[in-house]
Structures are given as C-alpha cells and as structure tokens.
Chains A and B, each alone.
Chain A
Amino acid sequence: MTRPLIETINLKKNFGSLEVLKGVSEKIYPGEVVTILGPSGSGKSTFLRCLNLLEEPTSGQVIFEGTDITDKKVNLDQHRQKIGMVFQHFNVFPHLSVLENITITPILEKKVSKADAEEKAMKLLKMVGLDDKVNEYPRKLSGGQKQRLAIVRALAMEPDVMLFDEPTSALDPEMVKDVLDVIKKLADDGMTCVIVTHEMGFAKQVSDRVIFMDEGIIQEQGTPEEVFDHPKNPRTIEFLSKVLY
C-alpha cells in the first residue's frame, strides 16, 4: 500500500477550555479527493488548519510525506511550500498586482527567476481565465476572481496537496460555479485535495471519500454514495436531513 501523503495521529486542539479536536487520526493518500462535512463548530476547519500547522495542535502529530511536521526542529516553511491552502476570505495580497500575488513567493522562497515565475503565472492565469487581469490589483476583481487568483497563487508553489477551507462560502451565488470548476479540474488532474465545504452537490460529485465530523471527532466516513445515500451514524443522518433539500 502506498504511503499516506498526510497522516494525523490522535490530533487534539483546545482553545482555552474548549476542546475543538478530540483526537483525530486520519490518512490522506496521494491523488485522493477528500471532502470534510460537518456543522459549524464541529472542528472541520480547525482540523484542516492543523494539517499545515496554521493551527498548532495541542497534542498529536501531523506526518507530511513521512516527516512529523509538529516537530519543532523541522523547517516548517519548506514543508508548507508543498501544502497549498485556499481560504474562505481569499486573503489575496491587496498591495500586489495579480501577477505579483502569484510570483512573489516562488521568487522569494524557491529562488525561481522572475522570468520563469512570470511565465508559469501566465499559464496558471490562463487556466483559470484571468489572463486579462495580469496587471490589475485585487481591488478590481470580483470575489470569484479573487478566489481563483488565490488558487493559482497556491498552485504556483507546485504543492503536492491543496487544502480548501470553505472556498465558496464568502462568494455571491453566481460566482460559486467558476471556483468549483477550477477545483474540480484540479481534482480531475490528480491533485490531492482536502476540501472543507458546505456545497453538498459538489462534494458528492468530486470526492473519492467524504468525512463527516462533529464534536471534534470523525463520526463517519466513506464513499460519497455511502455517506450521502446510506448514512449510518445518527448525527450524519440528522445533519444531512437539515442540509439536503
């Protein structure tokens, strides 16, 4: 069996006295598309943010490509370059042009030449249909365009996995599809993706595996058919009955 790309071992996270993650052990394999569902406060976003240590776990380990990145001795920046992340609120850099948003990190941290970085950025922008916005600043972009920019900004680092933290939750409804199309294309091209989302239809269509989280633990997981059509856990059933119309 292949080695998991990311493995968490008994991951726990407390915010003060609040236990948000109560011990999550999970494996993500290369090429997998995993979506994480759950009500708000279930710990799904915290779990995702622990995978690249944006959130420092209270205890437990995160093994990325065989390295325990919770170890203080590892160079976390280097590992993070291999873990792309897309945020709910885009977090594009407003003081940099669309092109610079994409090229700044490869140039600074991977010592890629400016010309190479820009050529690559142009290709990525073309892929998401933003090639006419190269020299614009993010304030001129719509929410959907900002999110597509954020996705290619992460891709420019040539990550081995992409984490999506509710990538469409802050978008106007008519912008959602463009962004989901991009994610779907990535997934179809074999990118390992971990997606926290409320888009049930999308999760069903794109996932290899669906994880349902509640109260800080994984309550149920399986193929989309198993989880959506034949859920076993009463919490999953309750959740799905509320969100599926």
Chain B
Amino acid sequence: MNLIAEIFDVAWRFRAVFFEGMLGTLQLASITVFFGTLLGALVALLRMSRSKILSTVAKLYIDIIRGTPMLVQLYIFYMFVPQMIPALKALNLPEYFYIVLSLVVNSAAYVSEIIRSGIQAVDKGQTEAARSLGMSASHCMTRIILPQAIKNILPALGNEFIMMVKETSLASTFYVNELMRTKIILQSTYFITWQSLFVIAIIYYVLTTILSKLVSLLERRLAVGD
C-alpha cells in the first residue's frame, strides 16, 4: 500500500515534468512518423520500381534497417554520421536533429513496407480494368489504386505511430527530452529512483491504449466503404 502511495505521490508532485516528457514523446513520435511516411512512400516507390537496381537498393535499405537494432542505429547516427560526413559537420546541427533523422530512417523502412503491402493488397483486377480502359499508369495509381490502398495503409500507419511512441524511449540515452528521460532527470535532481519508472510505464500504457482505440475506430470508419 505504501509503495503505491509513494508512486502516486511522485506522479502528482512532478506532474509538470512527466507532462513535458509526454509531450516530448508525442512530438518525437509525430515528427518521426510524418517524415518517415514521406521517406517511406519514396522507398516504397523505389522498391516497386521496374528498375532492378533501384528496387534492390530499396530492398537492401529496408532489410538492413529492419535487421539491426534501433539502438545501434541511433548510436551510429548520433556519433558517426555527424563526425564522418564533412558536409553535415559543417552545418553544426543540434544532436536532436540526428536522433530524429535516425528515427525517421528507421521508421521509413517499416512504413515503406506498410505502403507497399497496402498497394499490393488491392485486387490486381483493378489495375487491369483501369489499364484496359486506356488509363495511364500514373492515373491508375493515383486515382484507382491509392484511394483503395489508403484503407489498408492508414490503420497500419496508426500502429506504426504507437510503435514509435514506445521506441522513442531509446532516445533518452542521448539526452533527448521525452518521457523516458524524466526518469534520469528525477533521479539526478531529486534522487527519485524507482517510483518514476511506474509513472512512466502507466503513462506509456495509457497513451498506447488510447491510440489503439483511435486506430480501431479509424479502421471501422474506413471499412464502411466496403
């Protein structure tokens, strides 16, 4: 009983710190998924391109990113990329940029596969019908395939956002302001050790629960059209 009271006490006393951390997490996840979607769409296009070279490069990118731990990628982007690429070093960008870049590069690999499978899930007969009418390949994609694929893609993107809310906790290792970082702040400033962990866990849980409810709501909305 005492322990639970202690957790709630910490949660209440440092609510502003936790709240700020939560906003940091949501901001990081939003930026990541937004730019990850843009980059992911591009990668998906390359992956589906007729050019063997482009599609192989895209596949390699996807495989490497998905086949290595995010933490390793973060370290590489945090330590290696800014130091080893002179053009970037000259720009003297903040560390936050490299963390976001790493998250975006990671997310794009997953998003590109979401987009690709969303597109490929649309019945092949739709493409055949459009092309047999004499519709151009680009019109077929933008007017026939994508509007249908979006129903598969949007909920999956929502799930990717939920994943990112949790994954961004790794960024705390690099002094990025997000929810997990509050643990370190509270520990070093107020000697709060274990209590904050439970508060953080609860906040993550509440966030992801609300978000997945929203995703299934969206899913049902989109399914109405079928």
Query: Residues on A close to B: CB < 8 A?
Result: 52, 54, 77-85, 87, 89, 91-95, 104-105, 108-109, 137, 139, 150, 153-154, 157
In the complex the two chains form, is A91's CB within 8 Å of B126's CB?
A: yes
When the two chains form the complex, which single residue of A52, A94, A104 contacts B143, counting CB atoms closer than 8 Å? A104
Flag the segment in B42-50, B113-121, B131-139 that touches A.
Answer: B131-139
> Does B23 sit within 8 A of A, measured CB to CB?
no
Partner of B132, one of A54, A92, A137: A54
Complex: A12 Cα to B161 Cα, angstroms: 49
Contacts of A87 in B (CB 8 A): 125, 128-129
Total CB contacts across the A-B interface at under 8 A = 69
A-B contact pairs, 5 of them (CB 8 A): A54-B131, A78-B134, A87-B125, A108-B143, A157-B133
> Residue A108 contacts which of B123, B125, B135 (CB distance < 8 angstroms)?
B135
With A94-B148, A104-B143 given, is the CB distance from A81 to B125 under 8 Å?
no
A6 to chain B, nearest CB (A): 14
Q: How far is the CB of A80 from chain B (nearest CB, A)?
A: 4
Any A CB within 8 A of the CB of B94: no
Interface bin, chain B: 10 to 19
Describe B's contact surface by its main secondary structure. Answer: helix
B125 and A105 contacting across the interface, CB-CB below 8 Å = no
| In the bound complex, CA of A81 to CA of B143 (Å) | 17
Partner of A150, one of B129, B131, B134, B225: B129
Bound form: Cα–Cα A108–B139 in Å: 8
Known: A108-B139, A109-B139. A95 touches B132 (CB 8 A): no
Asked whether B132 lies within 8 Å of A93 as measured between CB atoms, the reply is no
Q: B136 touching A93 by the CB < 8 A rule?
A: no
| A80 pairs with B131, CB closer than 8 A | yes
Which B residues lie within 8 Å of A91 (CB)?
Answer: 123, 125-126, 128-129
Bound-state Cα–Cα, A81 to B132, Å: 7
Q: How far is B130's CA from A77's CA once the two chains are assembled, in angstroms? A: 10
Expressed in whole angstroms, the Cα–Cα distance for A89 and B123 within the complex equals 11
Do A77 and B132 have beta carbons less than 8 Å apart?
no
A94–B148 Cα distance when bound, in Å, is 8
Whether A94 lies near B225 (C-beta < 8 A) is yes
The 3 closest A-B pairs by CB, nearest first: A81-B134, A91-B129, A91-B125
